[in-house]
Amino acid sequence: MRVLIAPDSFGDTLTSVEAAAAIAAGWRRARPDDDLVPAPQSDGGPGFVDVLSVRGGRVHAATVSGPLGAPVVARWLHLGDVAYLESAQACGLHLLGRAPDPQTAVAAHSTGVGELVAAAADAGAGTVVVGLGGSGCTDGGRGLVGALGGTVDAAGLAAARDRLCGIRLIAATDVENPLLGPSGAAAVFGPQKGADPDALDLLERRNTDWARTLDAVAPRPVSGRAGAGAAGGIGAALLALGADRRSGAEVVADLTGQDALLSAADLVITGEGRFDHQSLGGKVAVAVARAARRQGTAVLVLAGQVAVDPADPDVAVLGLRGLHSVAEHAGGVQIALDDAARSLAALAETVAGRW
């Protein structure tokens, strides 16, 4: 049997490359004769550049402002005329240097992402694709605009648009959330970035004020558009600068030839750190499952944690042949996290043995 192994990263514990290797190792122990094809994926969040760099091109390193101001080294890919950037490399949650809390939630910014866009533009890229996801900020992209335009206001937005004139921008988003409201950047993602109720209220008020500026400058209002809330609202700023929005998972799928891989497989195994209702908004596991269903290929999902009911209509429509939790198999979340690769491999071995 030909098995395509196409997971996303598992949070901060395993990159998509490491997750694919762990699944393959476990599966092979139970079914050594299967033909295993690793195909790590990304939705625009952590791992976006690593996954795409296997296609060739040149990986550059740039020193930019991290989410709290300390310099960080971020890598980006120049492939042909296209630059692929990863917001998590400049303002990722993992770059805070400490556990997220209300202070970091309010202070974190996207300045480094703007500096990465500037580096790609200065290098002559005709198209700049910004992978969005895994950020530690909820600043609505104000830092990005300040880095590109000098000021965080309508004048700064105009200056940023002038600086990027002639360059096609693409916001490769991992979610479809708008900037504001109960399904917006602060309300949905703020708590996982350390925000308490007071911080959430402040972030929402800041972004509401900023949205007025974005919507006034953009050719059409952007704050309510799908993907505007991606990466703490960086999506909204990019849309205001004229970016087209695409699913990050689809960008990776197109560049890596995912459809051809799926059509040649008998089974595809995908997964991510937590399979929940956010997954249904454009995360890798669901994108892969939908693509496999179109090809008529069976799909298994192995996730660090599963927080949805398989009978939920939005899950059932995916036609999964199995939805399995590493934490449940290992006997607890912390046990699974302590040796993530071994725990994921053990689950893969068990599932393979029952296939």
Cα-only R_g, the chain:
20
- Which residue reads 């002559």 in tokens? 124
pLDDT at 25: 98
What does the pLDDT average to over 135-142?
Answer: 98
Question: What token pair was written down for 171?
Answer: 């916001």
179 in Cβ contact with 138 (< 8 Å)? no
Distance of alpha carbon 287 from alpha carbon 268, whole angstroms: 12
328 in Cβ contact with 341 (< 8 Å)? no
* Strand-pair partners of 65: 71
Cβ burial 294-328 (10 Å sphere, 16+ → b, else e): ebebbbbbbbbbbebeeeeeebeebebbebbbbbe
The overall average pLDDT reported for the chain is 95
- Taking only the tens place, the pLDDT of each residue in 240-294 is 999 999 999 899 999 888 989 999 999 999 999 999 988 887 688 998 999 999 9
171 in Cβ contact with 130 (< 8 Å)? yes
User: Edge-to-edge, what's the strand order for the sheet holding 82-86?
Assistant: 58-65, 71-79, 82-86, 127-131, 168-173, 244-247
pLDDT at 211: 98
Task: Tell if the pTM clears 0.85, that is, is over it.
Answer: yes
124 pLDDT more than 80: yes
Please tell me what DSSP assigns to residue 302. Answer: E
Distance of alpha carbon 274 from alpha carbon 255, whole angstroms: 25
Please tell me what DSSP assigns to residue 196. Answer: -
pLDDT at 282: 65
pLDDT at 283: 82
312 pLDDT more than 90: no
Distance of alpha carbon 237 from alpha carbon 216, whole angstroms: 12
Residue 12 pLDDT level (bands cut at 50, 70, 90): confident
- Taking only the tens place, the pLDDT of each residue in 16-66 is 999 999 999 999 999 999 999 999 999 898 889 999 998 889 999 999 999
Nearest in space to 179 (alpha carbons), one of 222, 228, 219: 228
Q: Report which secondary-structure segment, H or E, holds 36.
A: strand 35-38
Q: Domains in the chain and their CATH numbers?
A: 2-40+257-354 (3.40.50.10350), 48-249 (3.90.1510.10)
- Taking only the tens place, the pLDDT of each residue in 211-234 is 999 999 998 999 999 999 999 999
Distance of alpha carbon 98 from alpha carbon 62, whole angstroms: 23
- Taking only the tens place, the pLDDT of each residue in 59-113 is 999 999 999 999 999 999 999 999 999 999 999 999 999 999 999 999 999 999 9
pLDDT at 214: 97
Nearest in space to 301 (alpha carbons), one of 266, 326, 264: 326
pLDDT at 59: 96
175 pLDDT more than 90: no
What does the pLDDT average to over 157-171?
Answer: 97
